[in-house]
Amino acid sequence: MTAGAVTDRDVVLGFLADMAGRRISGALEALATDVVYTNVGLPTLRGRRQAARVLNLLQRPVFGFGVEVRSVAADGAGTVLTERVDELRFGPVRARFWVCGRFDVSDGRIILWRDYFDNIDVLKGVVRGIVALVVPAVQRPLVPFER
């Protein structure tokens, strides 16, 4: 690889950073026009336009997204796996839960985005987020990640 070349890992971490930073146009630019986006257990979205419907919610003041990347593995052949803690914000409530993500990258764009999570863990994250409104110590701050 040449110096300064953008890796598949860079594409994925940049995408997550753009979402967390509310730079939705940058996040959308990282997606291929025919991207397949699946939150396992929910309907699959096909194409950048459908994915944009979800990502554009992050531009509303009442919603937000944060991420703590715990580990990243890239095979050098287009697949990037992430283990992370995602934070979904609904007004003052910050629901945090574990997510494993698979991203397939081709020609510098994400062509597959598939997130796996446990619905019970999501529910626990919502409950912790609500309790943290009264007892902030129940929820530690997210650890910011650097690309």
Looking at the chain, how many residues does it have?
147
What's 72's DSSP letter?
Answer: E
Selecting among 86, 107, 118, 121, the annotated active-site residue is 86
Q: Which tokens sit at 124?
A: 């626990």
Count Cα atoms within 13 angstroms, Cβ side, for 94: 16
Angstrom distance (rounded) from CA 127 to CA 99: 17
Active site residue 118: no
Active site residue 104: no
Angstrom distance (rounded) from CA 2 to CA 147: 18
Count Cα atoms within 13 angstroms, Cβ side, for 77: 1
Selecting among 104, 115, 118, 121, the annotated active-site residue is 115
Active site residues: 86, 115
